Amino acid sequence: MKKPLALIVDDEPDIRELLEITLNRMAIETCTAEDIHGAKQLLQHNLFDVCLTDMKLPDGNGLELVDFIQTLATPLPVAVITAHGNMESAILAMKKGAFDFVCKPVDLSGLRVLINNALKLSEATTKDRRSRHLLLGDSLVMQEIRSKINKVARSQAPVYISGESGTGKELVARLIHQHSSRSEHAFVPINCGAIPYELMESEFFGHKKGSFSGAISDKKGLFQSAEGGTLFLDEVGDLPLSLQVKLLRAIQEKKIRPVGDSQEISVDIRLLSATHKNLSDMVQEGSFRQDLYYRINVIDFHVPPLRERPEDIHGLVNHILARLTEANKQEIPLLSTAALSALQQYSFPGNVRELENILERALAMYNGSRIEKEDLNLPKDSYLAKPPEFDPDSSSLEMHLEKIERKAITQALEKNQWDKIATAKHLGISIKSLSYRMKKQNIDDSS
C-alpha cells in the first residue's frame, strides 16, 4: 500500500527535521522546501496528500502558498505553522482555505491528530456526499448551500451558521459533520440558551469530584464528549460574557480545564455555532465579545428564510406530507392549487418548522382526498406584500429602497403597538439598529 506523502515548508532546518522525524514515524513520506519558490516547484511535480507550511518564509508569506494550493487541479489540505498568540494570521489562513493551524512551539501530539484528520479527507471524498435528500429544495440558493456544505466540510475552520429560527441551521451543521473527516466520531449539539447559568462551565468543560456542592463524581464536559468529532453550539448568542472568555481560550489553545482540576486537557474538536440573533449588532452593543465573534466566524454560512425560496415549497410539502402520513399510516392527500398558491405567498415567520406544523394541523382538519386552502388556517396578516415597482424616471434606486424600508418599519411598529423591543424582534434586528433606522427615516413614536 502506497505511503502518504507530505510537503514540509520551513526555513528553519531544526523545525524541518523535527517535522520530518514525526511524520516518518507515522509512516508518512516527506519532501521539504525552505521557501515558497521551492515549495511551488515540488507541488507541480508531485502529488502530495498534505502540506505543512510556516507563515514567515524568506521569499514571502505562507498565505501565498495557501492561495497557490487552492488553484491546483486537486487541492490538498494545508496547515499553517504560526507564532504563538498570532491568531489573526491563523484565522486569515483558514478563511483562504487552509485546513487547520499549528502554533509554535509545535505540540507533537496535536500535530499527529491534525495530520491524521487531514489524511482522512481523501477517504471522505469516496463517501456518498449527496445531501439533496436531506436538505430539500431545487432553488439556486439551495443548490449553492449544498455545494458550500461539501466545500466547508473539507476544512477544520470554525463555521458560524446564521439564519432565522426554523430554517434548518442544525441540519446544515449535521451535514457538514457527516461529510467531513470527523464523521465517524460524535456530533454533539447543545442549545446554549437551555443550560442554567450556574451549570454552564461544568457542562462545557466537565468537573472533578468534590469541586462544588453536588459534584459526587468526575464528569466529562461537552468538549470531551465531542472528542475527535464536532461540537455544535446552537444559540451561541445566549452565552454569558464570563463563559465567552473561557470558550475563546478553549478554541484558541485547543485545551480545556475541568472545574476543580489543576491540569489542562487537550481536546480535538471542530466547532460549529449558530444563532438567529445578529451577533454583529451584539458585538456593537457589548453583549458579545468581538474577539470570540471573529474566532467562531471564520467561515460565515447563512441559511435563507423559506419566504426567499417559494419555488422549494412544493417539494417540501410533498416530502413532509409523505413523512407525516407514513408515521400515522394514512394515505398521502393531494394539495389543491389554491392551497399551494396560498403557501407560496405566505411569509412563514417560523420557516420550515412552521410549514411542518401547518401541514400536520391540516392533516387533522381536512375532509376528503384534498387539502384545501381553508384547511391550512393561515394567518390573514402574514402574506408577502408585493413591493412597489421601481420607476427610474421618478426616483433614484436609493430613494426607492428607503421608501421600502420606511414602509416595512412603520408596518412592523403598528403591528406591535409601537413596542420597539417587539418590533426589533419581529424585524430580526437589534433595538440599536431599529433606533438608528427610525432616526434615519425620521420616524418617531408619534408617527
Given a contact cutoff of 8 angstroms between Cβ atoms, the answer to whether 127 and 106 are in contact is: no
* Strands 255-256, 265-266: pairing kind: antiparallel
Given a contact cutoff of 8 angstroms between Cβ atoms, the answer to whether 6 and 51 are in contact is: yes
Arithmetic mean of pLDDT, 162-166: 90
d(CA 89, CA 83): 9
- Domain 140-302 identical in fold to domain 397-440: no
Predicted confidence (pLDDT) at residue 391 exceeds the cutoff of 90: no
> What fold characterizes domain 306-376?
Helicase, Ruva Protein; domain 3 (1.10.8)
Q: State residue 389's pLDDT score.
A: 61
Q: Is 339 helix (H, G, I), strand (E, B) or coil?
A: helix
d(CA 294, CA 298): 6
Give the predicted TM-score (pTM) of the model.
0.76
Q: State residue 181's pLDDT score.
A: 87
Given a contact cutoff of 8 angstroms between Cβ atoms, the answer to whether 161 and 173 are in contact is: yes
> Which residues, other chains included, contact 384 with Cβ-Cβ below 8 Å and sequence gap of 6+?
307, 345, 346, 347
Q: State residue 388's pLDDT score.
A: 55
Predicted confidence (pLDDT) at residue 428 exceeds the cutoff of 80: no
Q: State residue 245's pLDDT score.
A: 93
Per the listing, cell 412597489 goes with: 388
The CA distances from residue 204 to 211, 222, 229, 244, 247, in Å, are: 15, 5, 15, 11, 9
**Comparing 382 with 25, which gets the higher pLDDT?**
25
- pLDDT, tens digit, 9 for 90 and up, residues 37-83: 999 999 999 999 999 999 999 999 999 999 999 888 888 999 999 88
CATH value of 140-302 in 1.10.340.30, 3.30.465.10, 3.30.70.260, 3.40.50.300 = 3.40.50.300
- pLDDT, tens digit, 9 for 90 and up, residues 71-80: 888 889 999 9
> Which residues, other chains included, contact 31 with Cβ-Cβ below 8 Å and sequence gap of 6+?
5, 6, 7, 8, 42, 46, 48
Per the listing, cell 456544505 goes with: 149
What is the DSSP code string of 227-271? TTSEEEEETGGGS-HHHHHHHHHHHHHSEE--BT-SS-EE---EE
- pLDDT, tens digit, 9 for 90 and up, residues 242-253: 999 999 999 888
* Strands 50-54, 29-33: pairing kind: unpaired
214 CB-side CA count, 13 A: 3
Burial class (CB in 10 A: 0-12, 13-18, 19+), 269: buried
- pLDDT, tens digit, 9 for 90 and up, residues 232-274: 999 999 999 999 999 999 988 889 999 888 889 999 999 999 9
d(CA 66, CA 78): 7
**Comparing 171 with 127, which gets the higher pLDDT?**
171
Q: State residue 420's pLDDT score.
A: 84
d(CA 61, CA 68): 12
Predicted confidence (pLDDT) at residue 392 exceeds the cutoff of 90: no
Q: State residue 415's pLDDT score.
A: 77
- Domain spans of the chain? 5-124, 140-302, 306-376, 397-440
Given a contact cutoff of 8 angstroms between Cβ atoms, the answer to whether 317 and 335 are in contact is: yes
CATH value of 397-440 in 1.10.1610, 2.30.30, 1.10.287, 1.10.10 = 1.10.10
Predicted confidence (pLDDT) at residue 387 exceeds the cutoff of 80: no
Given a contact cutoff of 8 angstroms between Cβ atoms, the answer to whether 17 and 108 are in contact is: no
Query: Cβ atoms within 10 A of the Cβ of 391, count?
Result: 8
At the top level of CATH, which class does the domain 5-124 belong to?
alpha beta
What is the DSSP code string of 14-75? HHHHHHHHHHHTTT-EEEEESSHHHHHHHHHH---SEEEEESEETTEEHHHHHHHHHTSSS-
Q: State residue 231's pLDDT score.
A: 96
Across the chain, mean pLDDT equals 87
> Which residues, other chains included, contact 188 with Cβ-Cβ below 8 Å and sequence gap of 6+?
222, 225, 226, 229, 230, 231, 232
258, 162, 244: which is closest to 207 by C-alpha? 258
How confident is residue 447, by pLDDT bands cut at 50, 70 and 90? very low
d(CA 370, CA 341): 14
How confident is residue 88, by pLDDT bands cut at 50, 70 and 90? confident
